[in-house]
Structure 1
Amino acid sequence: MTEQGTPQQPGWEARALVTVAAAELLRSLHGDHGPLMFHQSGGCCDGSAPMCYPDGDFIIGDRDVLLGRVDVGAGVPPIPVWISGSQYAAWRHTQLIVDVVPGRGAGFSLEAPTGQRFLTRSRVIPGDLLRELPEPLTGAEIEAGAEPPVAYPPVDPTQVADNACAVPGEN
């Protein structure tokens, strides 16, 4: 473990990351909408897409879990990545990597009119590394004043694709 209590293997420092391409779109969306946030959708109308909102437009519940914050650079404030508590219970062993691909975004997500859509790639966190990651904070803990986690910079998807889910149709 490093001094900050995170695993030493590159790419596993956080439970949520964004790709370089997603960071580029997020910088553009920030220019149009100001500070942003993600909430990993649990299904229903928009499947399980990561939904991007102006920060604060999606009400975070006490049991929602802050997977992490991402730093997209260019003076954009760190972007929190949230997931519902029940969905986190099912996905706690995975790292979510927010990426972007051509297509129509979900109706409620800010990228919908851009011709691109966010998607989540996930990869299983190896057991030894999972035990080293700190447990993420809940909405109640953040509301009570807990310090949010360090924000992580974008990643090159080819550097973290060793066991990430591919986009359908890609080889």
Structure 2
Amino acid sequence: MSHCPARVLATPGALDLIASLRAKYGEIMFHQSGGCCDGSSPMCYPVGDYLVAPDDVKLGEIGGAAFFMSRSQFEYWRCTQLTIDVVEGMGGMFSLENGTGLRFLTRSRVFTDAELERLGGGDAPRGAMAR
């Protein structure tokens, strides 16, 4: 059976920043912002400070932190693999990396047809809805 590709990955720089934030704040999680105040940025919060909606989709984990996005946004991004990176700049107003001189950035690529087939046609991961 073929390996199922990850829906979300992180660069080494992002993993370093995640480790630093976890050391400072404890358990953290991500929610891909859908626009509004901070654009479409991956937002990082202490676990429990951001209430995940019942229909949010968990894409996976990066650096030990769960990564979610809204169901409606997932429908738009379902055929893409997200890679969380860091660049110099100011993080989202409410995101934990704000003030570090770095910010998380989402990069994406479209899954190949073979990868989509292994993912079940791009459907939401089974058991991935927020609870």
- Common fold, TM-score beyond 0.5? yes
Match of 1:117 among 103, 107, 119: 103
Match of 1:81 among 67, 74, 80: 67
Alignment-mate amino acid for residue 79 of structure 2: H
Aligned equivalent of 2:59: 67
Aligned equivalent of 1:128: 114
Instruction: Provide the C-alpha distance between the structure 2 equivalents of 1:61 and 1:131, rounded to a whole number of angstroms.
Output: 28
Instruction: Provide the C-alpha distance between the structure 1 equivalents of 2:61 and 2:100, rounded to a whole number of angstroms.
Output: 23
SS at 1:114 equivalent = coil
TM-score by length of 2: 0.91
Answering whether residue 28 of structure 2 is matched by residue 40 of structure 1, we say no
Instruction: Provide the C-alpha distance between the structure 2 equivalents of 1:82 and 1:127, rounded to a whole number of angstroms.
Output: 24
Aligned residues: 126
Aligned equivalent of 2:21: 29
Unpaired stretches in structure 2, ≥5 consecutive residues: none
Instruction: Provide the C-alpha distance between the structure 1 equivalents of 2:48 and 2:9, rounded to a whole number of angstroms.
Output: 20
Answering whether residue 124 of structure 2 is matched by residue 138 of structure 1, we say no
User: What is the deviation of 1:138?
Assistant: 1.0
Alignment-mate amino acid for residue 118 of structure 2: E
Unpaired stretches in structure 1, ≥5 consecutive residues: 8-12, 73-77, 144-171
- Asked which structure has the greater CA Rg, the reply is 1
Render the CA deviation track for 1:60-90: whole Å, top value 9, x for unaligned.
Answer: 11110001112x3xxxxx2111000000001
User: What is the deviation of 1:130?
Assistant: 1.0
Alignment-mate amino acid for residue 32 of structure 1: K
User: What is the deviation of 1:56?
Assistant: 2.1
Aligned equivalent of 1:169: none
Q: Percent identity?
A: 50
Instruction: Provide the C-alpha distance between the structure 2 equivalents of 1:69 and 1:44, rounded to a whole number of angstroms.
Output: 24
CA RMSD of aligned residues (A): 1.1
TM-score by length of 1: 0.71
Alignment-mate amino acid for residue 27 of structure 1: A
Instruction: Provide the C-alpha distance between the structure 2 equivalents of 1:102 and 1:132, rounded to a whole number of angstroms.
Output: 35
Aligned equivalent of 2:50: 58
Which aligned segments of 4 or more residues in structure 1 are displaced greater than 4 angstroms? Answer: none
Alignment-mate amino acid for residue 30 of structure 2: F
Instruction: Provide the C-alpha distance between the structure 1 equivalents of 2:100 and 2:31, rounded to a whole number of angstroms.
Output: 19
Instruction: Provide the C-alpha distance between the structure 2 equivalents of 1:132 and 1:102, rounded to a whole number of angstroms.
Output: 35
